[in-house]
Structure 1
Amino acid sequence: MKANDSTIDCQTDAATGLPAEVAQLVQITRKTEDELRELERRYCSWGDTVHYLDPPKFFARCEGSYLYDRYGRPYLDLQMWYSAASFGYANRRLNAALQRQLDLLPQLACQYLHAEKIQLAAAIARLNESRFGLSGRVHFNVGGAQAIEDSLKIVRRETGKTLVFAFMGSYHGRTLGASAITSSYRYRRPYGHFSDRAHFVPFPYCFRCPYGKRRDDCGLYCVEQFARLFDSEYHSFWDAKADEGEFAAFYIEPIQGTGGYIIPPPDYFRALKRILDQRRILLVDDEIQMGFYRAGKFWAIENFGIAPDIIVFGKALTNGLNPLSGIWAREELISPAKFPPGSTHSTFSSNPLGTAIGLETLRLVAENDYETITRRKGARFLEQLRDLQRRYPKVIGDVDGMGLALRVEICAEDGYTPDRELTERIFAEGLRGDLDARGRKMGLVLDVGGYYKNVFTLAPCFDISEEEIDLAVELLEQLIRRCAPERVG
């Protein structure tokens, strides 16, 4: 090309007649799965979680409660993208909201205002005022971990302190700040020392009580042990003479997500909150997985009768259609005087596509009684899972649930020792797509969590039918019988 030439010489692909670069892209989209896997091995980072399964699974389409592979075979999904697609894949109403916004205002720098952002923030703030009796404001970001980071800024700005409590088994994200309050050392180990990492407190995991107590007569012993940290200055948490401590906040998940959908005793958080209030320690509620009715209430924390100081949310707000997360905080913590312009920033925060879908999601839940829906369907699902546990006690050690957040803990023949190997085998076998689903072939999509990676955390679509619930349990039973035939006697 000449220096002053405005055209570019472009080679043409002989087979297609297209420009060579375009033809190459077209050919990539027509690759077989094996060819695509080879491209993935060569060009894609393996730093995410795809390669937990070998080989990784391909999917080509989704609708409702199902994913479909490239051959059109359905896979009943019981984890719905870690609760991000709680309202169903390809939800027509939410998809339409996205399309309308694409045609109206798809892009806007977050330094400007648009109606959907303001209306969505107002809706969440008013909802929280009605539930908790507290006025507050909403701040948006993109992903859950980024919202956690913003909450940490609010906590530090308010208290002047950098130390926080979090639970063993917690998961709050994998940015540096979020990793510091996530309990798994595996996520931090490659990146050096985290000087401000949380002090981790045992979660009330009653099936595996860290104190060896029994659920029915422990008297919330775990809360008593937390309270004892403040008994003496020599426990290093509190100076009684100054009436001051060095911890700013306690980060909680009301129901642990990645930790295995562990549900605490009903009175646990009320007892914990009394201690935090006495010591002027903020309570930050991570609702990223459990928010928007996953646990039978709009926020999972509502099940436990307390009001948090800060709520972090994301995932199901946009049904996974566009990244949007956020925080709600009490007015005293997030007013413009306390959290002025420029306190934090993300290029895509409060983006108009995400806020438009989020606003439509809130309209959707306002028009449908998801509290009743998730509780009714969850009760049906849980009843059948408990029956499965009774019939396979040498495979299933514990079953529990709240709303449509359900857990199945896979154990050895003694009913207690974690069996990670069997859990992974059941997970992989479900993705083969060859289960008998009443005369047709189908797969089952499960998610593995828990402290010992032996828990199936079930988060089905809110619109899952009763017939599909029954089918899901049938498919899970098939997997148990196929993967552990020696234990089903």
Structure 2
Amino acid sequence: MNMQATTSSLKALDQAHHLHPFTDFKAYAENGGRVFSRAEHIYIYTSDGHRMLDGMSGLWCCNLGYSQQGIIDAVTEQMNTLPFYNNFFQCSNQPAIELARALVEVTPERFQHVFFTNSGSEANDTNLRMVSRYYQLQGRPEKKFIISRNNAYHGSTIASASLGGMKPMHQQSNGLDYVHHIDQPHWFELGAEEDPDAFGIRVARQLEQKIDELGEDKVAAFIAEPVQGAGGVIIPPDSYWPEIQRICDERDILLIADEVICGFGRTGKWFGSETYGIKPDLMTFAKAVTNGYQPLGGVMVSDKVADVLMSESYEFAHGLTYSGHPAAAAAGIATLKILRESNIIEEAARTLAPHLQSRLQELTDHPIVGQVRGRGMFAAVELVRDKGSRERLAPNSAAAVFCRNTANEIGLMVRQTGDAMIMAPPLVSSTEELDSLVEMLGQALDRTAAHFGA
């Protein structure tokens, strides 16, 4: 069978049987999509031979690109040794034990314990279980309200989607009634007429207002991403996180940092919490912990929380069949080994991130670019028709969708969120490859402007 026939057959089977995440099922069944067949370095290839520079690191996870033989070898060896055993019933396995130690070594000192899951969604579900049990053991079961942010993304299970603040997800399912939301620190969208630092403090203090509204004796925790990734790479003003930390400390509220996207080098340090000086009580991780090569997530549990959870003899009635899966843990160990021994995070922060952010800032003069924002190795380009009024190019983010599709056709994989083009290239990119990313994005912007008459 020739390549074209293979691709055609695969697409037909895909449309006939495969229901995709975050997809219009009807439209996909009618029109289909791409089938990817291989990848190398920072490039992905469709089954019909189209090469694309992966400006999204897979789904924020392949920070080291697609050619890490050390991770592949580690997983292969583990599959040949112990392909699976569970961690229930006083059982463990060597890779899970070693990965727990490795994670403790790369996270702040107050984290000495880890609970493994298979994804960030499950990890955030686990956070809710731990927070609830933490207060039960202290004789304060009434502290059960969780505060999150509008437009946040914390996963897709009922619990983690409830924590998130994306309206379409809430409209399609009944969320948990004990989760409440405040505004996101999105200066361009909500406060562009204000001084950024004043805006940051004002939005942070909504947390204090929500605590007062609900009652401090009833609020358990605040959860947030250091930088909102899927929500559009929302970079908080410098004033925002210090004020959030003050409020949580003063009001006896646990702070949960969702590091699923920010973790393992994306912001310039190992974790976004370190970039912003946050001291969370629980820290969610996933994605880049295995470079995307195996499903793995988890929760780093601070001593403050762990000491309470371990203070009494009881069974923590929560777990997952594949928690601490030996092959996934082997991938995590190999990934952390590469990150620790290669100085990739430090080099990306020193050289690649400044280069990427500098080149992207050149796009601010483009007639349809209202804002370029970024931190470390991810960024967003906000599209407008009028820079002063921030009027959008087209209703329902149609211009950003067009721009994304155009970039994909040119050979650049980027995403669209609202009216923003978002990107998170691998930390192993070269400056020349980052130049190519910006140039292809510029071409897509030009075609978008022409198409919408801007």
> Using the alignment, how far apart are the partners of 2:260 and 2:73 within structure 1?
24
Match of 2:53 in 1: 76
Residue 279 (str. 1) matches residue 251 (str. 2) = yes
> Using the alignment, how far apart are the partners of 2:21 and 2:453 within structure 1?
38
In the TM superposition, what is the alpha-carbon distance from 1:147 to its structure 2 partner?
Answer: 0.7
Residue 485 (str. 1) matches residue 450 (str. 2) = yes
Deviates more, 1:333-342 or 1:34-43: 333-342
| SS in structure 2 at match of 1:285 | strand
Trace 1:274-313 onto structure 2 (pairs within 5 A). 274-313=246-285
Distance 1:41 1:219, change over 3 A: closer
**Structure 1 consecutive aligned stretches of length 4 or more whose deviation exceeds 6 Å:** 486-489
Higher Rg of the two aligned structures: 1
> Using the alignment, how far apart are the partners of 2:11 and 2:210 within structure 1?
52
Amino acid of the residue matched to residue 220 of structure 1?
I
In the TM superposition, what is the alpha-carbon distance from 1:216 to its structure 2 partner?
Answer: 5.3
| C-alpha contact (below 8 Å) 1:405/1:458 kept by paired residues | yes
Distance 1:228 1:176, change over 3 A: closer
Residue 177 (str. 1) matches residue 172 (str. 2) = no
C-alpha RMSD over aligned residues: 2.5
| SS in structure 1 at match of 2:300 | strand
Match of 1:406 in 2: 379
- Structure 1, unaligned runs of 5 or more: 1-26, 239-243, 436-442
| C-alpha contact (below 8 Å) 1:399/1:409 kept by paired residues | yes
Distance 1:427 1:311, change over 3 A: same
Amino acid of the residue matched to residue 357 of structure 1?
A
Match of 1:18 in 2: none
Aligned equivalent of 2:127, options 151, 164, 179? 151
Distance 1:306 1:342, change over 3 A: closer
> Using the alignment, how far apart are the partners of 2:246 and 2:238 within structure 1?
15
> Using the alignment, how far apart are the partners of 2:149 and 2:313 within structure 1?
27
Match of 2:334 in 1: 360
> Using the alignment, how far apart are the partners of 2:426 and 2:210 within structure 1?
41
Distance 1:190 1:225, change over 3 A: closer
C-alpha deviations, 1:140-180, integer Å up to 9, x for none?
01111011111110011112232111011100011011111
> Using the alignment, how far apart are the partners of 1:424 and 1:382 within structure 2?
23
Deviates more, 1:70-79 or 1:291-300: 70-79
| SS in structure 2 at match of 1:400 | strand
Distance 1:331 1:60, change over 3 A: same
In the TM superposition, what is the alpha-carbon distance from 1:237 to its structure 2 partner?
Answer: 2.4
In the TM superposition, what is the alpha-carbon distance from 1:208 to its structure 2 partner?
Answer: 2.0
Distance 1:50 1:300, change over 3 A: farther
Aligned equivalent of 2:414, options 446, 455, 469? 446
> Using the alignment, how far apart are the partners of 1:182 and 1:225 within structure 2?
17
| C-alpha contact (below 8 Å) 1:297/1:303 kept by paired residues | yes
Trace 1:38-437 onto structure 2 (pairs within 5 A). 38-46=12-20, 48-49=22-23, 54-111=31-88, 112-128=91-107, 131=108, 133-159=109-135, 160=141, 161-192=143-174, 194-196=176-178, 198-210=179-191, 212-215=193-196, 218=199, 220-229=201-210, 236-238=213-215, 244-334=216-306, 335-337=309-311, 340-375=314-349, 376-390=351-365, 392=366, 394-414=367-387, 416-419=390-393, 420-432=397-409, 435=410
Match of 1:455 in 2: 420
> Using the alignment, how far apart are the partners of 1:349 and 1:89 within structure 2?
25
C-alpha deviations, 1:66-110, integer Å up to 9, x for none?
111223331011001221111101322211211121222221122
Distance 1:165 1:116, change over 3 A: same
TM-score, with normalisation over the residues of structure 1? 0.83
Deviates more, 1:265-274 or 1:320-329: 265-274
Distance 1:149 1:137, change over 3 A: same
Deviates more, 1:40-49 or 1:180-189: 40-49
> Using the alignment, how far apart are the partners of 1:427 and 1:135 within structure 2?
39
In the TM superposition, what is the alpha-carbon distance from 1:398 to its structure 2 partner?
Answer: 0.9
Which of the pair is proportionally richer in helix? 2
Match of 1:33 in 2: 7
> Using the alignment, how far apart are the partners of 1:219 and 1:176 within structure 2?
30
| SS in structure 2 at match of 1:36 | helix
TM-score, with normalisation over the residues of structure 2? 0.89
| SS in structure 2 at match of 1:236 | helix
| C-alpha contact (below 8 Å) 1:237/1:247 kept by paired residues | yes
| C-alpha contact (below 8 Å) 1:332/1:338 kept by paired residues | no
- Structure 2, unaligned runs of 5 or more: 136-140
